[in-house]
Structure 1
Amino acid sequence: MAAWDLSVTVEDLGSDAPPVTISVDSGLHVGGVILKLVEKTQIKRDWSDHALWWEQKQRWLLRTAWTLDKYGIHADARLVFMPQHKPLRLGLPNGITLRLRACFSSSVFQTVMGICRMLNIRHPEELSLLQPVEEKKKKKDKNSAEEIYDLTEVPLSSASRPCLYNGMPAHFADSPEMEAIYKMLSVTQPPPSPEVIAKQYRAASVVDKAHIHGRWLDSSRCLLQQGIQENSRLWLRFKYFAFYDMEPKYDVVRLTQLYEQARWAILLEDIDCTEEEMMLFGALQYHISKVSQSEPQMLSSSAAMDDLETALQSLEVKMEGESSSASEMLENMTAPELNDYLKIFRPKRMTLKGYKQYWFKFQDTSISYFKSKEESIGEPIQQINLKGCEVAPDVNVTAQKFLIRLLIPAPEGMNEVYLRCENVRMDL
């Protein structure tokens, strides 16, 4: 198998560094190419997050067991050896910009899942990434510099739900600065001034709105395939307005960002709404701002621990009990009873007897009947066990027929018994 030289650009060496040339053959797998690159660079570091990017085909070579021949790579291929996770500037609906590490090799759907897991937002399928609108270049104003909160040091977790501490993800409880960032994510911002609203981009026509919505990223393709580079700016927005399982106790950040997106959509006239709907939302905005000012929404450890201790104490009382055990509680419980006069009929061959009235008592899984109500204290005429019985209603309101048909198992077969009610209320 003939060997040939393959040039690979190693991003960690710098933009001015020349490509690294290694000798390969078509039967060499991608993992072997990476191993040769690491050995030739002679840089001791963790390379586990790095992978090969094929520029001409715009695809990642993530299957390290595949050979170069299987991928179709030849000597003219331009490969880049780079990290899969890179910093990204993310604009949230409440106007806060975060700088965090996102996955550039997975699909946008998987990338959004990782971001939402970091920010403690459940149901990430409701959100997606949107390219911001290109604003006209203006003179730089030192006072209008955008404040960016850095979360690049937060480790990426593969768990479905982050570990909570003091009511927030553990990585936000490491320092007071991180707690302040989480508070900004979970507390609604004060109403913006008219000057701030006037500076925001506003769609002037339906064409402009369509242009904005055409900037949604493809959820099935990765960021690099869509031209997103390191430190690019993107918006995280709710795209699919079909919300599921809203729980204020666990969805503080999710509900806050949803409210902020709705508020800015109305202020910037991104959505069409009636005057009545705007007044309703204004009333909600006033109430939320008052509540957030008087009672900070920061999740405290005491509230969470109090709820947990209360639940545990309630469970302990239910399981152990203070004065009686669970068996005694079950013994003291009595099943409800139903009592009333009904007519009974047992169809037999060669009989002319009709329905006869008795006092019936329904309790547990048995029916007992007595000659009269006064005699119900003593022994019943008969007690019918309903276990294994077939019960079927036989009702005809027009003919005033309200029957309950019972098929009672017996050694000789199934005995048929009819119970007749006087009206429909007794039958119910």
Structure 2
Amino acid sequence: MIADGHLVGDGSWELKVLVTDLSVERCLRVKGDLHIGGVMLRLVEELDIAADWSDHALWWPARNCWLSRTRSTLDQYGVQADALLHFTPMHKTLRVQLPDLRYLDCRVDFSVKTFNAVVTLCKELGIRHPEELSFAKPLESDDLRYNYRERESNTSHKKRTVANNSADTNTFIGHHGNSTHSSNNSLDNIKATSGCTPVLPNTTINRSPAPVPTPISSPSGTWRKNSPLNTTANSSFSNMDMSLALSPATPSQEARSRLLRPKNLIERARLNVAWLDSSLSIMEQGVREYSALLLRYKFYSFYDLNPKYDAVRINQIYEQAKWQLLNEEIDCTEEEMLMFGALQLQVNLQSAQPQPLSDTRDGDDDIDAALSDLQDTLEGTHVHSNTSDITSIPELSDFLRYMKPKRFTLKGFKRYWFVCKDLQLFAFKNKGESGSGPAHQIPLRGCEVTPDVNLSQDKFGIRLEVPGPDGMSEMWIRCDSEAQYAKWMAACRLAAKGKTMADASYDAEVSSILAFLAMQKPAPAPAINPSSLDIQPDDYVAPRFIRKLKNKVSTRILEAHTNVKDLSLTEAKLNYIKAWQSLPEYGVSLFVVKFMGQRKEELLGVAFNRLMRMDLTTGDHIKTWRYNTMKAWNVNWEVKHMMVQFEEESVIFSCLSADCKVVHEFIGGYIFLSMRSKEANQTLNEELFHKLTGGWS
């Protein structure tokens, strides 16, 4: 029997497709063995409209997925007669907020994985090394009141979710195309499959200037390979009068009003729920056209930061650091806050001045500079040797004060003769008693080294958290002067990474510490008349310092500014970034977790080279695990438990403040970033990134 030109009983059925551009619905008679490309071809032929449909693809709202494999059939995707598909553009307008709080309306591919969409967008914006950034959803203050699981069951949150018609970041992880319910990432497997060896904490990454910007391969496919990406800025900054390398001194009132200020460590941890899943498309995560997303630096491992090529990148990193400090997402001392305010003032003053052209050194100058760097590096390997014997290990010795703090004690610091040698710290009661054995011996490799400095009180302290079988034990060392502090602090920092003072970076570390301290010293009088500048305190210092300093903020900033008044625009930003990186809490992403067998909640800190188990209220380090002792990390997606295997033990925990996929992605992302080197192919290895962060076997 024939009906409408089709043989009834031949297995065909009607498929409904909504063409979103035209708001027109079409019914196509299809069979299950028709491939997706054929469906789109039939639809375009039936529409019979002269238009470029190359950027269109099929979206299945009920299953929340793109039918992107054009050679797969309807049966293979599970599409049946009750399905309604959307024929819609893959590139849509997305409102993107940059780290400097500016909004840009950009054309972004909603069909590719979020990581690939970020790579393409950064290429358009002129930001190198896009693997360091990601998209995050805007959060509201209410989001910081609850953990991820609690928010799912919270009634008010449910109502808001329904009203916004937008799912939470990790809602659709269960609909991943892979049916596997666990993942197993082994560093041995990664080395074998990628041909790369992870550059773990004890390996120095080559940071020499790149001769050309990193080439980035753009995603392509059968249906979309010829469709260009057009990035426009149609918001209030549509004319792009101000380059992305220069930001407004103050953001728009709208952007300022949406800033969140976490009140404690738990709220800081809850901020990380906002990150999008890099392995899913933007559309799959509840984001729709004209939605707003935040483009932020996610991984605090900045590779090859080069003023010659990275004006935009340096500016955006500087802006993200600035707002972290002003929003109290990271702590600092009063002297440090005033130093940051002074550097920010210098940036603002220099931004208003005509800037010289960027470095125009020719190729010969670049070669000379590279040879000079190489010579410095080679000479630096022996600069600390006490004799001509290259096998001798340099050592540092001096009188220092020492205390092992306990909760209930009235004991103060005791004076010891300290010797730092071969990654060990020895404390003797008197000088020259090495034959009788040390009173204390501290292994420095794997320690947490934290500054405890207060310049106004002439306090130059070093806090050591030493790993042991019962967790981390704390020890305090007090130095007598800046010079002494810089030498011992540099030695401890390098030893914690497994490097001795023979390493070429020791002198640079000492100089960096001294420069950091010098910038915090206020001048006796401001170099600029305070009445000539209108300094709004809340634009320069965090709220808690405004309450403390009251009406002295402007004067104190100007006093600190005297130390940095001669810096150029780029130098001021780089000094700001370097000082930010010197803070004890820099680069630690927090999560509220519950370890297996434990009843109370704790914090997990994820940094570029280590994981830290931390106290929920004080942030004290309970235990530290370094990536260079990590063997594998696994996830059981059914129960949302994550296991990280180290040489000494395995750690199992569930994440309460975000989906465990976010933690998994942070660890895999840092392993991926550690593999970057000048010797490797400079094309971004997107496949390896997804292998390390995707969470699927």
Q: TM-score, normalised by structure 2?
A: 0.36
Q: Which residue of 70, 91, 102 maps to 2:97? A: 91
Which residue matches 1:189? 248
Q: Does 1:70 align with 2:76?
A: yes
In the TM superposition, what are the counterparts of 1:80-119 in structure 2 within 5 Å? 80-119=86-125
Which residue matches 2:132? 126
- C-alpha distance in structure 2 between counterparts of 1:193 and 1:38, whole Å: 44
- C-alpha distance in structure 2 between counterparts of 1:93 and 1:183, whole Å: 15
CA drift of 1:232 comes to 0.2
Amino acid at match of 1:202: R
In the TM superposition, what are the counterparts of 1:205-354 in structure 2 within 5 Å? 205-296=264-355, 307=360, 310-311=362-363
Which residue matches 1:58? 64
Q: Is the 8 A contact 1:188 1:289 kept in 2?
A: no
- C-alpha distance in structure 2 between counterparts of 1:86 and 1:199, whole Å: 24
Ranked by relative contact order (alpha carbons within 8 Å, sequence separation 6 or more), the top structure is 2
- C-alpha distance in structure 2 between counterparts of 1:184 and 1:208, whole Å: 34
Change (3 A) 1:88 1:196: closer
- C-alpha distance in structure 2 between counterparts of 1:183 and 1:101, whole Å: 20
Q: Pairwise CA RMSD of aligned residues?
A: 3.3
Amino acid at match of 1:160: I
- C-alpha distance in structure 2 between counterparts of 1:290 and 1:216, whole Å: 34
Percent pairwise identity: 42
Which residue matches 1:360? none
Residue 122 of structure 2: SS of its match in structure 1?
helix
Change (3 A) 1:197 1:227: closer
Residue 66 of structure 2: SS of its match in structure 1?
strand
Amino acid at match of 2:342: A
- C-alpha distance in structure 2 between counterparts of 1:196 and 1:83, whole Å: 29
Q: Is the 8 A contact 2:102 2:251 kept in 1?
A: no
- C-alpha distance in structure 2 between counterparts of 1:192 and 1:26, whole Å: 54
**Number of equivalences:** 272
Change (3 A) 1:65 1:98: same
CA drift of 1:90 comes to 0.4
Provide, for residues 142-196 of structure 1, a one-character-per-residue CA deviation record: whole Å limited to 9, x for no partner. Answer: xxxxxxxxxxxxxxxxx7399xxxxxxxx99xxxx99962733111432579999
Residue 325 of structure 2: SS of its match in structure 1?
helix
Q: Is the 8 A contact 1:197 1:267 kept in 2?
A: no
- C-alpha distance in structure 2 between counterparts of 1:184 and 1:6, whole Å: 49
Q: Is the 8 A contact 1:104 1:222 kept in 2?
A: yes
- C-alpha distance in structure 2 between counterparts of 1:34 and 1:199, whole Å: 42
Q: TM-score, normalised by structure 1?
A: 0.57
CA drift of 1:314 comes to 11
Q: Is the 8 A contact 1:93 1:258 kept in 2?
A: yes
- C-alpha distance in structure 2 between counterparts of 1:198 and 1:83, whole Å: 33
Change (3 A) 1:36 1:112: same
Which residue matches 2:152? none
Deviates further, 60-69 or 178-187: 178-187
Which residue matches 2:216? 160
Deviates further, 234-243 or 64-73: 64-73
Q: Which residue of 5, 12, 17 maps to 2:14? A: 5
Provide, for residues 114-158 of structure 1, a one-character-per-residue CA deviation record: whole Å limited to 9, x for no partner. Answer: 11000000000111111112379xxxxxxxxxxxxxxxxxxxxxx
Residue 21 of structure 2: SS of its match in structure 1?
helix
Residue 44 of structure 2: SS of its match in structure 1?
helix
Structure 2 residue runs without a partner (length 5+): 1-9, 143-214, 219-229, 368-697
Amino acid at match of 1:239: K
